[in-house]
Structure 1
Protein backbone atom coordinates (compact mmCIF):
# COMPACT_ATOMS: atom_id res chain seq x y z
CA UNK A 1 0.00 0.00 0.00
CA UNK A 2 1.25 3.47 -0.87
CA UNK A 3 2.31 5.63 2.05
CA UNK A 4 1.83 9.39 1.72
CA UNK A 5 4.70 11.30 3.32
CA UNK A 6 3.54 14.67 4.63
CA UNK A 7 6.02 17.50 4.09
CA UNK A 8 6.20 20.71 6.10
CA UNK A 9 7.02 24.10 4.64
CA UNK A 10 8.41 27.19 6.37
CA UNK A 11 6.47 30.45 6.81
CA UNK A 12 8.13 31.53 3.56
CA UNK A 13 6.57 28.44 1.89
CA UNK A 14 9.95 26.74 1.40
CA UNK A 15 11.06 23.24 2.29
CA UNK A 16 14.17 22.65 4.34
CA UNK A 17 17.23 22.02 2.18
CA UNK A 18 17.21 18.37 3.22
CA UNK A 19 13.52 17.82 2.49
CA UNK A 20 13.72 19.56 -0.88
CA UNK A 21 16.73 17.44 -1.87
CA UNK A 22 14.92 14.23 -0.82
CA UNK A 23 11.89 15.05 -2.95
CA UNK A 24 14.06 15.99 -5.94
CA UNK A 25 16.03 12.73 -5.58
CA UNK A 26 12.75 10.80 -5.31
CA UNK A 27 11.55 12.32 -8.59
CA UNK A 28 14.95 11.72 -10.19
CA UNK A 29 14.58 8.00 -9.38
CA UNK A 30 11.22 7.88 -11.16
CA UNK A 31 8.95 8.53 -8.19
CA UNK A 32 5.86 10.71 -7.93
CA UNK A 33 5.00 13.62 -5.64
CA UNK A 34 2.02 15.86 -4.92
CA UNK A 35 2.98 19.54 -4.96
CA UNK A 36 0.98 22.77 -4.61
CA UNK A 37 0.44 25.49 -7.19
CA UNK A 38 -1.67 28.64 -7.18
CA UNK A 39 -4.45 26.88 -9.13
CA UNK A 40 -4.48 23.57 -7.25
CA UNK A 41 -2.32 20.55 -6.47
CA UNK A 42 -0.43 18.69 -9.16
CA UNK A 43 0.95 15.18 -9.54
CA UNK A 44 4.61 15.64 -10.36
CA UNK A 45 6.93 13.24 -12.16
CA UNK A 46 10.19 13.86 -14.01
CA UNK A 47 8.83 14.89 -17.43
CA UNK A 48 11.91 13.45 -19.18
CA UNK A 49 11.30 9.98 -17.67
CA UNK A 50 8.63 8.22 -19.74
CA UNK A 51 7.96 5.33 -17.29
CA UNK A 52 7.47 7.87 -14.48
CA UNK A 53 5.12 9.96 -16.62
CA UNK A 54 3.16 6.83 -17.55
CA UNK A 55 2.52 6.27 -13.82
CA UNK A 56 0.89 9.70 -13.64
CA UNK A 57 -1.37 8.84 -16.59
CA UNK A 58 -2.26 5.59 -14.85
CA UNK A 59 -3.07 7.31 -11.55
CA UNK A 60 -5.34 9.83 -13.30
CA UNK A 61 -6.88 7.22 -15.64
CA UNK A 62 -5.90 9.58 -18.44
CA UNK A 63 -5.58 8.57 -22.09
CA UNK A 64 -1.98 8.33 -23.28
CA UNK A 65 -3.12 10.19 -26.39
CA UNK A 66 -3.77 13.32 -24.31
CA UNK A 67 -0.33 14.83 -23.48
CA UNK A 68 0.32 16.68 -20.23
CA UNK A 69 1.79 20.14 -19.85
CA UNK A 70 5.00 20.47 -17.88
CA UNK A 71 6.13 22.71 -15.03
CA UNK A 72 9.51 24.44 -14.93
CA UNK A 73 11.47 25.83 -12.00
CA UNK A 74 12.94 28.89 -13.69
CA UNK A 75 13.08 30.85 -16.93
CA UNK A 76 16.55 29.40 -17.49
CA UNK A 77 15.07 25.91 -17.43
CA UNK A 78 12.29 26.95 -19.81
CA UNK A 79 14.92 28.01 -22.35
CA UNK A 80 16.65 24.63 -22.02
CA UNK A 81 13.53 22.69 -23.01
CA UNK A 82 11.41 25.08 -25.09
CA UNK A 83 11.88 27.60 -27.88
CA UNK A 84 10.35 30.99 -27.14
CA UNK A 85 9.83 33.58 -29.84
CA UNK A 86 9.58 37.26 -28.88
CA UNK A 87 5.88 37.10 -28.04
CA UNK A 88 6.20 33.92 -25.97
CA UNK A 89 9.16 35.39 -24.11
CA UNK A 90 7.15 38.49 -23.22
CA UNK A 91 4.22 36.44 -21.95
CA UNK A 92 6.35 34.12 -19.85
CA UNK A 93 8.24 37.04 -18.35
CA UNK A 94 5.04 39.00 -17.65
CA UNK A 95 2.86 36.29 -16.10
CA UNK A 96 5.07 33.58 -14.65
CA UNK A 97 5.45 32.33 -12.04
CA UNK A 98 1.70 32.40 -12.27
CA UNK A 99 -1.46 30.96 -13.86
CA UNK A 100 -0.40 30.95 -17.51
CA UNK A 101 0.56 28.02 -19.73
CA UNK A 102 2.17 28.85 -23.07
CA UNK A 103 2.27 26.23 -25.84
CA UNK A 104 5.47 26.65 -27.84
CA UNK A 105 7.94 24.47 -29.83
CA UNK A 106 10.01 22.14 -27.68
CA UNK A 107 13.79 22.04 -27.96
CA UNK A 108 14.08 18.30 -28.59
CA UNK A 109 15.06 17.42 -25.01
CA UNK A 110 11.63 16.08 -24.06
CA UNK A 111 10.12 12.73 -25.06
CA UNK A 112 8.15 12.74 -28.33
CA UNK A 113 5.07 11.46 -26.53
CA UNK A 114 3.12 12.00 -23.30
CA UNK A 115 4.36 15.58 -22.65
CA UNK A 116 4.66 16.93 -26.21
CA UNK A 117 2.29 17.19 -29.15
CA UNK A 118 3.44 17.72 -32.73
CA UNK A 119 6.74 19.12 -31.49
CA UNK A 120 5.18 21.53 -29.00
CA UNK A 121 5.11 21.65 -25.21
CA UNK A 122 2.87 23.45 -22.72
CA UNK A 123 5.14 25.60 -20.54
CA UNK A 124 3.98 26.33 -16.98
CA UNK A 125 5.90 27.96 -14.10
CA UNK A 126 3.74 27.54 -10.97
CA UNK A 127 3.64 30.20 -8.30
CA UNK A 128 4.73 28.31 -5.20
CA UNK A 129 8.22 28.66 -3.68
CA UNK A 130 8.62 25.04 -2.51
CA UNK A 131 7.40 23.59 -5.79
CA UNK A 132 9.85 25.77 -7.73
CA UNK A 133 12.56 24.82 -5.22
CA UNK A 134 12.05 21.09 -5.87
CA UNK A 135 11.86 21.43 -9.66
CA UNK A 136 14.97 23.59 -9.74
CA UNK A 137 16.89 21.03 -7.66
CA UNK A 138 15.71 18.25 -9.94
CA UNK A 139 17.07 20.22 -12.88
CA UNK A 140 14.34 18.99 -15.21
CA UNK A 141 10.68 19.89 -15.71
CA UNK A 142 7.90 17.87 -14.10
CA UNK A 143 4.40 16.95 -15.15
CA UNK A 144 1.96 19.79 -14.46
CA UNK A 145 -1.30 17.89 -14.21
CA UNK A 146 -3.98 18.35 -11.58
CA UNK A 147 -4.61 15.98 -8.69
CA UNK A 148 -7.81 14.38 -9.93
CA UNK A 149 -9.11 11.67 -12.18
CA UNK A 150 -9.12 12.66 -15.82
CA UNK A 151 -12.30 14.55 -16.66
CA UNK A 152 -13.06 15.46 -13.06
CA UNK A 153 -12.68 18.88 -11.46
CA UNK A 154 -9.46 19.78 -9.70
CA UNK A 155 -9.88 19.91 -5.94
CA UNK A 156 -8.16 21.02 -2.74
CA UNK A 157 -6.00 18.33 -1.19
CA UNK A 158 -8.27 15.55 0.09
CA UNK A 159 -6.43 12.95 2.17
CA UNK A 160 -9.33 10.51 1.80
CA UNK A 161 -9.16 10.84 -1.98
CA UNK A 162 -5.42 10.22 -2.33
CA UNK A 163 -5.60 6.44 -1.71
CA UNK A 164 -8.38 6.13 -4.29
CA UNK A 165 -5.95 6.84 -7.10
CA UNK A 166 -3.84 3.97 -8.43
CA UNK A 167 -0.23 4.92 -7.66
CA UNK A 168 1.22 1.96 -9.61
CA UNK A 169 2.71 0.31 -6.55
CA UNK A 170 4.63 3.40 -5.38
CA UNK A 171 5.86 2.75 -1.84
CA UNK A 172 5.99 6.42 -0.88
CA UNK A 173 4.52 9.58 -2.41
CA UNK A 174 5.71 12.84 -0.81
CA UNK A 175 2.84 15.30 -0.33
CA UNK A 176 3.27 18.99 0.40
CA UNK A 177 0.07 20.55 1.69
CA UNK A 178 -0.31 24.32 1.83
CA UNK A 179 -3.85 25.40 2.70
CA UNK A 180 -3.15 28.93 1.45
CA UNK A 181 -1.59 27.93 -1.86
CA UNK A 182 -4.68 28.02 -4.06
CA UNK A 183 -5.28 31.69 -4.88
CA UNK A 184 -6.87 31.21 -8.32
CA UNK A 185 -10.28 29.54 -8.79
CA UNK A 186 -9.64 28.63 -12.43
CA UNK A 187 -7.08 26.51 -14.25
CA UNK A 188 -4.24 28.44 -15.86
CA UNK A 189 -4.92 30.40 -19.01
CA UNK A 190 -3.69 28.34 -21.97
CA UNK A 191 -2.19 30.19 -24.93
CA UNK A 192 -0.74 28.84 -28.16
CA UNK A 193 2.07 31.04 -29.54
CA UNK A 194 3.35 30.48 -33.07
CA UNK A 195 4.95 32.69 -35.72
CA UNK A 196 4.71 35.74 -33.49
CA UNK A 197 0.95 35.42 -32.99
CA UNK A 198 -1.09 33.95 -30.15
CA UNK A 199 -4.41 32.20 -29.68
CA UNK A 200 -6.14 31.48 -26.38
CA UNK A 201 -7.01 27.78 -26.07
CA UNK A 202 -8.47 27.97 -22.57
CA UNK A 203 -9.72 30.99 -20.66
CA UNK A 204 -8.28 31.40 -17.17
CA UNK A 205 -7.06 33.95 -14.62
CA UNK A 206 -4.86 35.84 -17.11
CA UNK A 207 -7.25 37.75 -19.37
CA UNK A 208 -7.17 38.35 -23.10
CA UNK A 209 -6.65 42.08 -22.50
CA UNK A 210 -3.64 41.38 -20.27
CA UNK A 211 -2.14 39.02 -22.84
CA UNK A 212 -2.68 41.47 -25.69
CA UNK A 213 -0.97 44.24 -23.74
CA UNK A 214 2.02 42.09 -22.76
CA UNK A 215 2.41 40.62 -26.26
CA UNK A 216 2.79 44.11 -27.72
CA UNK A 217 5.66 44.88 -25.35
Structure 2
Protein backbone atom coordinates (compact mmCIF):
# COMPACT_ATOMS: atom_id res chain seq x y z
CA UNK A 1 0.00 0.00 0.00
CA UNK A 2 1.29 3.48 -0.86
CA UNK A 3 0.36 6.67 0.93
CA UNK A 4 0.60 10.39 0.22
CA UNK A 5 0.35 13.42 2.50
CA UNK A 6 1.42 16.26 0.21
CA UNK A 7 -1.14 17.81 -2.15
CA UNK A 8 -0.46 17.27 -5.86
CA UNK A 9 -3.81 16.67 -7.51
CA UNK A 10 -2.59 15.77 -11.00
CA UNK A 11 0.06 13.36 -9.68
CA UNK A 12 -2.19 11.76 -7.08
CA UNK A 13 -5.16 11.35 -9.41
CA UNK A 14 -2.91 9.53 -11.87
CA UNK A 15 -1.51 7.29 -9.11
CA UNK A 16 -5.02 6.40 -7.94
CA UNK A 17 -6.19 5.84 -11.51
CA UNK A 18 -3.34 3.40 -12.12
CA UNK A 19 -4.41 1.43 -9.03
CA UNK A 20 -8.12 1.43 -9.91
CA UNK A 21 -7.75 0.35 -13.52
CA UNK A 22 -5.81 -2.68 -12.27
CA UNK A 23 -8.62 -3.76 -9.94
CA UNK A 24 -7.46 -2.03 -6.77
CA UNK A 25 -9.14 -0.08 -3.97
CA UNK A 26 -8.22 3.48 -3.01
CA UNK A 27 -8.90 5.75 -0.05
CA UNK A 28 -9.22 9.31 -1.31
CA UNK A 29 -10.25 12.67 0.16
CA UNK A 30 -13.57 14.34 -0.53
CA UNK A 31 -14.38 17.75 0.88
CA UNK A 32 -16.77 16.15 3.41
CA UNK A 33 -14.53 13.23 4.41
CA UNK A 34 -12.59 10.25 3.10
CA UNK A 35 -14.00 7.72 0.66
CA UNK A 36 -13.18 4.18 -0.44
CA UNK A 37 -13.44 3.85 -4.22
CA UNK A 38 -13.08 1.28 -6.99
CA UNK A 39 -13.83 0.74 -10.68
CA UNK A 40 -13.80 -3.05 -10.79
CA UNK A 41 -16.76 -5.25 -9.78
CA UNK A 42 -14.63 -7.58 -7.67
CA UNK A 43 -13.00 -4.63 -5.92
CA UNK A 44 -16.45 -3.23 -5.15
CA UNK A 45 -17.37 -6.57 -3.57
CA UNK A 46 -14.24 -6.30 -1.40
CA UNK A 47 -15.36 -2.81 -0.43
CA UNK A 48 -18.69 -4.22 0.79
CA UNK A 49 -16.92 -6.92 2.78
CA UNK A 50 -14.40 -4.71 4.53
CA UNK A 51 -17.07 -2.15 5.43
CA UNK A 52 -19.41 -4.89 6.75
CA UNK A 53 -22.15 -3.34 4.69
CA UNK A 54 -25.81 -4.35 4.69
CA UNK A 55 -26.93 -5.85 1.36
CA UNK A 56 -29.56 -3.15 0.82
CA UNK A 57 -26.92 -0.38 0.71
CA UNK A 58 -26.12 0.71 -2.84
CA UNK A 59 -22.90 1.88 -4.48
CA UNK A 60 -22.73 5.52 -5.53
CA UNK A 61 -20.98 6.94 -8.56
CA UNK A 62 -18.38 9.69 -8.18
CA UNK A 63 -18.45 12.25 -10.95
CA UNK A 64 -18.38 15.82 -12.16
CA UNK A 65 -21.22 18.15 -13.04
CA UNK A 66 -20.64 17.36 -16.72
CA UNK A 67 -20.87 13.62 -16.09
CA UNK A 68 -23.98 14.03 -13.94
CA UNK A 69 -25.64 16.06 -16.67
CA UNK A 70 -24.75 13.37 -19.22
CA UNK A 71 -25.99 10.40 -17.17
CA UNK A 72 -28.99 11.71 -15.25
CA UNK A 73 -32.33 12.45 -16.86
CA UNK A 74 -33.85 15.57 -15.32
CA UNK A 75 -36.13 18.34 -16.56
CA UNK A 76 -34.26 21.60 -17.24
CA UNK A 77 -35.42 23.38 -14.09
CA UNK A 78 -34.17 20.57 -11.84
CA UNK A 79 -30.88 20.26 -13.71
CA UNK A 80 -30.43 24.00 -13.24
CA UNK A 81 -30.81 23.46 -9.48
CA UNK A 82 -27.95 20.96 -9.57
CA UNK A 83 -25.83 23.52 -11.43
CA UNK A 84 -26.72 26.25 -8.94
CA UNK A 85 -25.67 24.15 -5.95
CA UNK A 86 -22.57 22.48 -7.36
CA UNK A 87 -21.17 25.01 -9.86
CA UNK A 88 -22.42 28.42 -8.81
CA UNK A 89 -22.39 27.87 -5.02
CA UNK A 90 -19.50 25.35 -5.12
CA UNK A 91 -21.17 22.88 -2.74
CA UNK A 92 -20.80 19.07 -2.63
CA UNK A 93 -24.02 17.30 -3.51
CA UNK A 94 -25.27 13.76 -3.73
CA UNK A 95 -27.65 13.73 -6.71
CA UNK A 96 -30.20 10.91 -6.92
CA UNK A 97 -32.07 10.83 -10.23
CA UNK A 98 -33.27 8.64 -13.09
CA UNK A 99 -30.42 7.75 -15.44
CA UNK A 100 -29.66 6.86 -19.03
CA UNK A 101 -29.15 3.08 -19.16
CA UNK A 102 -27.46 3.38 -22.56
CA UNK A 103 -24.69 5.67 -21.31
CA UNK A 104 -21.33 3.90 -21.84
CA UNK A 105 -20.33 4.13 -18.17
CA UNK A 106 -23.66 2.71 -17.04
CA UNK A 107 -23.36 -0.14 -19.53
CA UNK A 108 -19.82 -0.77 -18.30
CA UNK A 109 -21.15 -1.49 -14.80
CA UNK A 110 -22.77 -4.71 -15.99
CA UNK A 111 -26.08 -6.05 -14.76
CA UNK A 112 -24.83 -7.38 -11.41
CA UNK A 113 -23.08 -4.17 -10.34
CA UNK A 114 -25.87 -2.02 -11.75
CA UNK A 115 -28.38 -3.85 -9.54
CA UNK A 116 -26.14 -3.05 -6.56
CA UNK A 117 -26.01 0.63 -7.54
CA UNK A 118 -29.60 1.58 -8.33
CA UNK A 119 -32.89 1.98 -6.46
CA UNK A 120 -36.24 2.30 -8.24
CA UNK A 121 -34.45 3.14 -11.51
CA UNK A 122 -32.38 5.92 -9.92
CA UNK A 123 -28.62 6.24 -9.57
CA UNK A 124 -26.78 8.32 -6.96
CA UNK A 125 -23.77 10.42 -7.92
CA UNK A 126 -21.50 12.67 -5.88
CA UNK A 127 -20.95 15.95 -7.69
CA UNK A 128 -18.27 18.48 -6.70
CA UNK A 129 -16.45 16.29 -4.20
CA UNK A 130 -13.22 18.26 -4.48
CA UNK A 131 -10.30 18.76 -6.82
CA UNK A 132 -8.86 15.25 -6.61
CA UNK A 133 -12.20 13.61 -7.27
CA UNK A 134 -12.86 15.93 -10.22
CA UNK A 135 -9.53 14.99 -11.82
CA UNK A 136 -9.97 11.30 -11.04
CA UNK A 137 -13.46 11.39 -12.53
CA UNK A 138 -12.00 12.97 -15.67
CA UNK A 139 -9.40 10.22 -15.99
CA UNK A 140 -11.79 7.33 -15.37
CA UNK A 141 -14.47 8.77 -17.65
CA UNK A 142 -11.95 9.20 -20.46
CA UNK A 143 -10.90 5.57 -19.97
CA UNK A 144 -14.50 4.35 -20.00
CA UNK A 145 -14.41 3.23 -16.35
CA UNK A 146 -17.19 3.98 -13.85
CA UNK A 147 -15.83 5.41 -10.59
CA UNK A 148 -17.86 4.00 -7.69
CA UNK A 149 -17.51 4.08 -3.93
CA UNK A 150 -18.62 4.73 -0.39
CA UNK A 151 -17.32 6.33 2.78
CA UNK A 152 -14.04 4.99 4.16
CA UNK A 153 -15.31 3.51 7.39
CA UNK A 154 -16.95 0.47 8.92
CA UNK A 155 -20.70 0.82 8.31
CA UNK A 156 -22.45 2.71 11.06
CA UNK A 157 -19.33 4.31 12.53
CA UNK A 158 -19.60 7.66 10.79
CA UNK A 159 -17.61 9.58 8.24
CA UNK A 160 -13.89 10.01 8.83
CA UNK A 161 -12.51 13.47 8.16
CA UNK A 162 -8.86 12.54 8.79
CA UNK A 163 -7.11 9.36 7.66
CA UNK A 164 -6.01 8.51 11.20
CA UNK A 165 -9.67 7.98 12.19
CA UNK A 166 -10.26 5.32 9.51
CA UNK A 167 -10.36 1.83 11.00
CA UNK A 168 -7.12 -0.16 10.51
CA UNK A 169 -8.88 -2.95 8.57
CA UNK A 170 -10.32 -0.41 6.11
CA UNK A 171 -6.93 1.24 5.64
CA UNK A 172 -5.33 -2.18 5.17
CA UNK A 173 -7.81 -3.05 2.40
CA UNK A 174 -6.75 -0.07 0.29
CA UNK A 175 -3.96 -0.38 -2.25
CA UNK A 176 -3.32 3.37 -2.04
CA UNK A 177 -4.24 6.10 0.44
CA UNK A 178 -4.22 9.79 -0.49
CA UNK A 179 -3.97 11.80 2.73
CA UNK A 180 -4.77 15.51 2.41
CA UNK A 181 -5.34 16.06 6.11
CA UNK A 182 -8.60 17.26 7.66
CA UNK A 183 -11.29 17.80 5.08
CA UNK A 184 -13.19 21.02 4.40
CA UNK A 185 -16.69 20.27 5.72
CA UNK A 186 -15.81 18.67 9.04
CA UNK A 187 -17.05 21.14 11.67
CA UNK A 188 -19.13 20.71 13.75
CA UNK A 189 -19.44 17.33 12.02
CA UNK A 190 -18.99 15.86 8.58
CA UNK A 191 -22.03 16.83 6.58
CA UNK A 192 -23.39 17.39 3.11
CA UNK A 193 -26.67 16.94 1.28
CA UNK A 194 -28.28 14.20 -0.81
CA UNK A 195 -31.35 15.14 -2.83
CA UNK A 196 -33.61 12.85 -4.81
CA UNK A 197 -34.28 15.09 -7.80
CA UNK A 198 -36.87 12.67 -9.13
CA UNK A 199 -39.20 13.10 -6.14
CA UNK A 200 -37.65 16.39 -4.95
CA UNK A 201 -37.14 15.34 -1.36
CA UNK A 202 -34.48 15.03 1.28
CA UNK A 203 -35.55 12.55 3.93
CA UNK A 204 -34.54 9.40 5.81
CA UNK A 205 -35.42 7.20 2.83
CA UNK A 206 -32.64 8.94 0.93
CA UNK A 207 -29.92 10.08 3.32
CA UNK A 208 -30.67 9.04 6.88
CA UNK A 209 -29.91 5.87 8.84
CA UNK A 210 -32.35 3.98 6.64
CA UNK A 211 -30.74 5.21 3.45
CA UNK A 212 -30.58 2.72 0.60
CA UNK A 213 -27.75 4.63 -1.02
CA UNK A 214 -24.28 4.94 0.45
CA UNK A 215 -22.57 7.88 -1.10
CA UNK A 216 -19.29 9.64 -0.98
CA UNK A 217 -21.37 12.79 -1.05
CA UNK A 218 -23.39 12.60 2.16
CA UNK A 219 -21.34 9.60 3.27
CA UNK A 220 -24.26 7.48 4.34
CA UNK A 221 -22.94 4.48 6.28
- Could you state the TM-score of these two structures normalised by the residue count of structure 1? 0.75
Cα separation, 1, equivalents of 2:171 and 2:162: 16
Cα separation, 2, equivalents of 1:161 and 1:75: 28
Residue pairs, 1:1-217, within 5 angstroms: 3=1, 5-10=2-7, 14-16=9-11, 19-46=12-39, 49-72=40-63, 74-96=64-86, 98-108=91-101, 109=106, 110=109, 111-139=113-141, 140-159=145-164, 161-165=166-170, 173-184=175-186, 185-194=189-198, 198-201=200-203
- Matched positions, count: 189
CA drift of 1:180 comes to 4.3
For residue 217 of structure 2, what is the aligned residue in structure 1?
none
Kept after mapping to 1: 8 A contact 2:152/2:170: no
Cα separation, 1, equivalents of 2:94 and 2:77: 13
Please identify which structure carries the higher helix content. Answer: 2
Unmatched 5+ residue regions in structure 2? Answer: 208-221
Distance 1:64 1:50, change over 3 A: farther
RMSD: 2.6
Cα separation, 2, equivalents of 1:23 and 1:94: 29
Distance 1:200 1:134, change over 3 A: same
Largest Rg, 1 or 2: 1
Distance 1:160 1:200, change over 3 A: closer
